[in-house]
Amino acid sequence: MGMLLDGKAVSERFREDIKKIVEHKKFKGEKVPCLANILVGNDGGSIYYVNNQNKLCDKLGVKVKSVHLEEKVSEKDLLKAIDNLSEDNDVDGIILQLPLPKHLDEARITAAIPYEKDIDALSSISTGKLYKGEKCFVPCTPKGIIELIKSTGVEIAGKNAVVIGRSNIVGKPVAQLLLNENATVTICHSKTNDLKEVSSKADILVVALGKPKYITKDYIKDGAIVIDVGTTAIEGKLVGDVCFHEALEKAAFVTPVPGGVGAMTTTMLIKNLCEGLE
């Protein structure tokens, strides 16, 4: 029987570290970190995430500047808002909530965030630096995933890691981070042949598929670490891409949904903010 890999408990340890950083800055009379978040429109998921950011910042003593723009905002006005925050010396990090409304060019707009303040690593410069191994901010969800795996005490180096999903937000960057930790990495996707065969050989399995309860115990190796990134609302409840109770029958560690990866993401955002690129 496997163990629940509790993202809430792991994130709480990082939050205590963040508190100490902020308190130390205050004690020395230094500037307190300031987060700027930009929300366009009224997407329920984005509003929920921004509210969580604001609550956590308040709890940890971090300053926040929130910019909420209407759904029909022009690209020019959104870029101007980003420029204003980029030039604001009080702001240490900027996060733009995605997805944006369809009339806005997401690639062009994220590219406008200077990489020195791009704490969610959305811009092309941040992405390029990540894959070249240069100093940069690490995307928050992938960073949280790596910290969750490390919290098990299992050595990542040399392990066979399988990532199901190739998105720019999770799949690709988490695969790169696993490579940086010297795992042997396979990326699977909708065109992968014999997914069950490939997945069942993984010592570390990261699932970001977007198909609720798709991964059953037949996809999981005995003693594996299973990280479930999926979140789908079914009858008012959030479920992941992994059949949680089936996974517990075979895996050594399994993240729940909710309470797993999602619990880490906002914490890693604030951690990035406080660490900066110093």
d(CA 22, CA 96): 23
Instruction: Name the helix (H) or strand (E) containing 36.
Output: strand 34-40
d(CA 209, CA 160): 19
Task: Say if residue 15 carries a ligand binding annotation.
Answer: no
Pairing of strands 232-234, 237-239: antiparallel
Task: Say if residue 141 carries a ligand binding annotation.
Answer: no
- Pair of tokens at residue 53: 């950011």
Give all strands of the β-sheet with 3-4 in edge-to-edge order.
3-4, 253-254, 225-228, 204-207, 160-164, 184-188
d(CA 127, CA 167): 13
For the annotated binding site, the residues are: 165-167, 231
For the annotated binding site for NADP(+), the residues are: 165-167, 231
